Amino acid sequence: MGTVEENKAIVRSFFDEVWNNGNFDFMDTLYTEDFQLNALWQNTSLGGSGTAAKEEAKATIGRWLDGFPDMHVTVEEQIGEGDYVASRHVAVGTQSKDFMGIPNTGKRGAVSGITINRIQGKQVAETWTCWDAAGMMMQLGIIPTPPRKGPPEDTDAAWAAHAQLPDGHASAEESKAVVKRFYQELWTEGRLEVADELFAPNFIGHAPGNGLTRGPEGVKELVGGWRAGVPDMVLEIHAQYAEGSRCVTRFTGRGTHQGFWLGVPATGKEVSLSGIAVTRVIDGQVVSDWGEFDVMGLLQQLGVVKRPGGPPPAANGK
């Protein structure tokens, strides 16, 4: 078992060697023989174990690099606990060829994501990954961009400023406990007033397609809007990993589309989404949250968009 910092370096080597250098042979030595792959977005069949998972991962990354030859991935943040490392990353590139049935647009775009890796020895034994595929499709003009309230946000500058905040009093277990509370009490129970207690006045949150959320009032508006569309929403936490003030949570949300939501009138359909979030807790309050979840899968379940290159799959809830 390596140290947390050694494990982080192993994960960074994957992004550098495979994504940035196109060295796919590196994956043969990086992954264990029984490597498990879990893609948390529903517009893909990517997943499985062993050699098949490795080859499918190679093929999928290859399709992205073929369509975006100049794509470069930057690891923005890493959190480690035990054998687990979570990495928040951003890939930027220009679509120069047809991609997954999408004609060449010549447009430059960025796709953010969060990946959790389980390290075994000096290899990766299991991966959970979620990328904002819908965000890239919006930038390419393939699907419409939802209206955003307020002026354009400089997300990078806002996050850089928050990164300078001192940790104050924070421990891994305390961070996990606060995050569990807001998933249960706000998202599942709909108790919006709890935001005043759990979120700092200077809170900044990022969610796919939503821009930045600021302060407790912004949290109430965000959660209230989602619960207006899916009033029986339940969020289930599958795993948490924390390092000091930063907590990573892997979750699934489920419910019934009963109201106007994501620009779509009520359909009565049962929907699910999977995702990963990185949350920072200082002195018992959430100061930042960066979430990645399957907006593309949600839009497909609602019948708004089709799967690139094919029909939308059925909701799998994984």
- For every residue of 97-157, DSSP letters joined together read S-BTTBPP---EEEEEEEEEEEEETTEEEEEEEEE-HHHHHHHTTSSPPPP--SSPP-HHH
Are 107 and 232 members of one domain?
no
Are 242 and 175 members of one domain?
yes
In a domain, residue 129? The reply is: yes
Are 64 and 161 members of one domain?
no
Strand order of the sheet with strand 285-293?
211-214, 199-207, 285-293, 270-282, 246-256, 234-243
Are 167 and 277 members of one domain?
yes
Identify the pLDDT of residue 147. Answer: 61
Are 177 and 125 members of one domain?
no
Are 116 and 250 members of one domain?
no
| Strand, coil or helix: 65 | helix
Please, what's the largest Cα pairwise distance for the chain?
52
Q: Residue 282 is part of a domain; what is its CATH number?
A: 3.10.450.50
In a domain, residue 315? The reply is: no
Domain around 38 = 4-139
Looking at 83, 113, 139, the residue that finishes a domain is 139
Q: At 17, list the tokens.
A: 């060697």
Looking at 139, 168, 195, the residue that finishes a domain is 139
Identify the pLDDT of residue 317. Answer: 35
In a domain, residue 27? The reply is: yes
Are 134 and 168 members of one domain?
no
Residues 214, 206: contact at Cβ < 8 Å?
A: no
Residues 168, 283: contact at Cβ < 8 Å?
A: yes
pLDDT tens digits along 2-32 = 899 999 999 999 999 999 999 999 999 999 9
Q: At 7, list the tokens.
A: 């494990």
Are 17 and 121 members of one domain?
yes
Number of domains in the chain: 2
Identify the pLDDT of residue 11. Answer: 98
108-120 vs 31-39, strand pairing mode: unpaired
**Average pLDDT per consecutive 10 residues, the chain (318 residues; last block may be shorter):** 92 98 95 90 62 87 95 97 97 94 93 96 94 87 69 71 73 93 96 97 88 93 93 96 95 93 88 93 94 86 66 36
pLDDT tens digits along 169-181 = 678 899 999 999 9
Looking at 104, 139, 174, the residue that finishes a domain is 139
Q: At 23, list the tokens.
A: 């060295």
Are 85 and 219 members of one domain?
no
> DSSP secondary-structure letter at 304?
S
pTM exceeds cut of 0.85: yes
H helix count then E strand count, the chain: 9, 12
Identify the pLDDT of residue 315. Answer: 35
Identify the pLDDT of residue 310. Answer: 41
Are 134 and 176 members of one domain?
no
Identify the pLDDT of residue 241. Answer: 97
Are 53 and 110 members of one domain?
yes
In a domain, residue 217? The reply is: yes
Are 235 and 163 members of one domain?
yes
The CA-atom distances, in angstroms, between 313 and each of 133, 249, 257, 274 are 15, 25, 18, 15
Q: At 260, list the tokens.
A: 């106007």
Closest-CA residue to 159 (of 227, 74, 93, 80): 74
